[in-house]
Structures are given as structure tokens and as C-alpha cells.
Amino acid sequence: MPPRTSGTPSSSSPTSPPPSLASPLPSASPKDGTVKSRTLKLHWRELQNLAPLPRMTRFGTQTIWAGLEPVNLDKNHLEYLFKSKANSSSLNIVSGRQKQPSISVLGVKRSNIITIALSSLPPPRLLPPAIYSMDSCVLEREDIQEIAEPLFHLKLGMEQLAASQTFKYILATVLAIGNFLNGCKARGFELSYLGKLSQVRDTHTRQPLLHHVCVLLLQLYPESSDLYSDITAVTKAGKCDYCQVQSNFTQLESLCKASWEQVKLLNKADEKRKGGKGERMKGIGDEALAPDGSLRHRLPKILKECEERLKVLRAVHRRVINRFHSFLLFLGYSRAMVRDTKPEDFCKTISNFSLEYRTMQQTILLQRERERERQKNATESPGPNTPVGKRKNQQTPSKDNDEQGRLEEVLRTPESMSRLDVTLPRNRKRMADLQGAFSRKMKW
């Protein structure tokens, strides 16, 4: 504690007094007591170095981000949707929230088997719509493929993705929204963040960010497609294992080499069986009698053709993988990111996102169609409380109103007139009494 002072020191004092403990601390909140508002942040991975490509490639000399068109956003609406209050008390409550207890109904072994099985399928949130709509593009049997098919799918998938205008629209829209929310001017982002757009929700309507992206694209670019139908080869490439393709090459080369060794052993065995030059001359007639199309004569030719095909496939594999690396550089990836990115992982991420985008777009279009039908039905058949409905009810009274009017008219009719009304039911007891009295009078 600082020592107490009897009086207030003057300004000309050579030594300044120690600071008081009651001095106000700088607060993070404004003077008027209101909490400063800010927007949610997108935790993406920015692409820092977007310099021109080192050489001319099939995809050009610039990255895909350099050719994106600017997107006009309603910033006030975005700020309203994604506004977040920086309240320390709420942060403390969230951080101090207790973890909810979980109950496990599966054993560890069974859970691991299910996890391995689900790893080959699309994300779980995409399975119910695919099952309901019986979409064979999402769920299908795995067939045995040759080596060339995965390479062809990867080559065609890169071409489809680079030529898709809808894909460029999506990148430009997400980049514009992210720069506004983060308050930065990023030139690009890693494409793995596309799979997280359905997990980020606004703070008011609780709609995912992917929903707002679809709405903006339908509004700004009505000619855009669903993206999934544009990149079918990417979906097929995402189901291939390119590490297995590399191992298949090695296995085929080893089998081809072993087959040549076995052919040499067969030739040595034939020479040993014939037993020298004289026997070899005698055996010429036996070989001549053998059919030319037999497997023994065609085996060296078959192995030579297989060896040539393996060399061609090896060259194709090398060129396709090099083109994939160039394609990642075209997307703005750094060389370190290119080395760590596998073709199957990249294609599966893009394919899953395209499927999510198509599902979200179909949902929005279906909601709009239902809204138009509801408005059309409301226009054709107005409700009873609307002015048109009231006039219609006044002009055409219902059947209940007719019956009510008839009952009121009967009640207002005098009793004498009601007896003469043959349409009204008569009192049977009264008529019986009159008949009995008339008969007794006649007897007297």
C-alpha cells in the first residue's frame, strides 16, 4: 500500500505521487455503456502468394482468383444476419458450460468397423436426401476398375472444374462475403473451406452460410447451374484411390518381370529335354506340327505387348499427376500445399461440396415454388375475413343461413296460421283427443 499523504501535492513538486488505487481502468466497452457489435469470422486459410504461374500451363498463366468478377453485396443485410456481440459475460458462460454426458451403445470394435465403412461414403448429412430420392450418383456399388480409368477421370475432372463458370461464381461470392465478415482483403482461400459453409450459421435466421450463397447466386447469376452436373468426372475421381493405382503399377511390373523369368525357364527346360543339337534338329518337326495360335508360341508376344502398355501407362500416370500439381498451382495453392494434397482427397472435398450445393439449391427452388402456389391459391380463393370474401358471403348466403331464416319465420308465425300449414308436423295427441270426443258426442 502506498503511504498516506496529508495534503495534495502541488504541480511544482519534483516527485509525482504514487498512483491511487481507485483510479479508473481502461474498459473495453464504450462510454455510453453499449456493447460494441461485430460480425462472425470465417476461419479459412488465406492464400498469401498469388503471383503469376512460373510457366505457361494448360490452365493459363494466372491463377483462377485473378479472373474472378467482383460481387455486389448488400453489406447492411449481411451485417444484420451475421452480427455478433462481443460480450465477455456470454463468453464466460459458454466457456464454463459443462460437457453433456454421452451414452455409448456400441462397442469399440463395432464402432471402428462402422467408422471405416462410413469413410467410403459421403458425409452423413447428405445420405438421407440421397436415400429418399434414390440418387444412384451418390450411392452405388464399387466396381473393379482398370488403372487407366482413374487417371482419365482425374484428367477430365480438372478440365470440367476449370471450365465451370458456376464454380467461379461460387468462389467469387464466398470470397466477397468472407472479406466483409473478416474485415480483410484476402485474394483467395484454400478450397477445403467449402466443406464448412454448411456449418457456419447466421445469428438471426440460423440459416447456414451455404444457403445465403445459393440465394445470392440465384439472384445475381440466374443462369448458373447446380455445379454437381458440371463436374461428374470429379465425383468419379473422388471414389478412386490413387495410392492404390501406384501400387498396381508396381505389382504389374513385378508380375511382368516374373513372367519373363518363367518363359526363360521354360525355354531352358525344352532345350534340356531335347538333349543337344541333334535332338534339337529332330524336334523342329514337332514344333512345326504344333499350331501357331497355341499359348506356348503366343506367350512371348503377349508379354511384350503388356510391357509396352505398362510403359505407356507409366508415362500417362506421370503426366496426369504433374498436371494435377499444375492445377493446384492454378487454384492458388503453394508448393508445400501441393505436396501435401492427395488427388482423391481434393476431388472428394469438391464433390461433396457440389452435392451439398445442389441439395441446397433444390430446397430453395422448391420453397419458392410452394410460396408461389400458396400465393396463387390465396388470390383465387380469398379468405372469409378479406373484403372480397365478405362481399362473396353477403351475395351468396349459405345453406345454414337459409335454414336459420326459415326457423325464425316459423317462430314468428301465429298459432292459427300454423295449424293451417300442411307442411308443418301436426300434434298426434291433440288429433286423437279430438277424434275421441267427436265419437262420444255422436253416441249420445
pLDDT of the chain along its 444 residues, tens only?
444 444 444 444 444 444 333 333 333 334 443 334 588 888 888 887 777 777 667 787 788 888 888 888 888 888 888 887 654 333 333 334 455 666 667 777 777 777 777 666 666 666 666 655 555 444 443 433 377 888 999 999 999 999 999 999 999 999 999 999 998 889 999 999 999 999 999 888 889 999 999 999 999 999 999 999 999 999 999 988 888 888 888 888 888 888 888 888 888 887 787 765 545 444 444 444 344 446 667 788 888 888 888 888 888 899 999 999 999 999 999 889 999 999 999 999 999 999 999 999 999 999 999 999 998 888 876 555 555 555 555 555 555 667 777 777 777 766 545 455 555 555 555 555 545 554 554 444
DSSP structural state of residue 39: E
30 burial level (CB within 10 Å; 0-12, 13-18, 19+): exposed
Cβ(424)–Cβ(407) under 8 Å? no
Q: Phi-psi bin for 183: left (phi > 0), alpha (psi -120 to 50), beta? A: left
* Inter-axis angle of helices 343-380 and 148-163, nearest 10: 50
299 burial level (CB within 10 Å; 0-12, 13-18, 19+): middle
- The C-alpha cell of 128 is what? 438421407
What are the percentages of helix, strand and coil residues in the chain, rounded to 5?
Answer: 60, 5, 35
Pairing mode, if any, of strands 83-85 and 37-39?
antiparallel
String of DSSP letters for 176-224: HHHHHHHTS--S-B-GGGGGGTTT-B-SSS--BHHHHHHHHHHHH-TT-
Question: Cα-atom radius of gyration of the chain, to the nearest Å?
Answer: 43
* Inter-axis angle of helices 209-220 and 343-380, nearest 10: 70
| pLDDT given for residue 225 in this prediction | 92
CA–CA gap between residue 37 and residue 289 (Å, rounded): 95
pLDDT single digits (tens) 97-140 = 455 666 667 777 777 777 777 666 666 666 666 655 555 444 44
Residue 327 neighbours by CB distance under 10 Å:
24
Residue 333 neighbours by CB distance under 10 Å:
22
Cβ(56)–Cβ(66) under 8 Å? no
The dihedrals phi and psi of 377, each to the nearest 5 degrees, come to -65, -35
Q: What is the helix (H) or strand (E) element at residue 235, kind and residue range?
A: helix 232-238
- The C-alpha cell of 364 is what? 430453395
Q: What are the residues whose beta carbons fall under 8 Å from the beta carbon of 155, sequence distance 6 or more?
A: 320, 323
The one-letter amino acid at 385: N
- The C-alpha cell of 1 is what? 500500500
The one-letter amino acid at 50: L
Q: Indicate whether this model's pTM tops 0.75.
A: no
The dihedrals phi and psi of 231, each to the nearest 5 degrees, come to -125, 55
| pLDDT given for residue 25 in this prediction | 32
The length of the chain in residues reads: 444
Q: What are the residues whose beta carbons fall under 8 Å from the beta carbon of 328, sequence distance 6 or more?
A: 337, 338, 341, 346
CA–CA gap between residue 162 and residue 330 (Å, rounded): 9
The dihedrals phi and psi of 311, each to the nearest 5 degrees, come to -65, -40
Nearest to 332 by CA among 12, 45, 32: 45
Nearest to 332 by CA among 66, 69, 43: 66
Cβ(267)–Cβ(170) under 8 Å? no
pLDDT single digits (tens) 192-251 = 999 999 999 988 888 999 999 999 999 999 999 999 999 999 999 998 888 888 888 888
Nearest to 345 by CA among 431, 240, 418: 240
Q: Which residue has the cell 484428367?
A: 155
CA–CA gap between residue 42 and residue 215 (Å, rounded): 19
Q: Phi-psi bin for 33: left (phi > 0), alpha (psi -120 to 50), beta? A: left
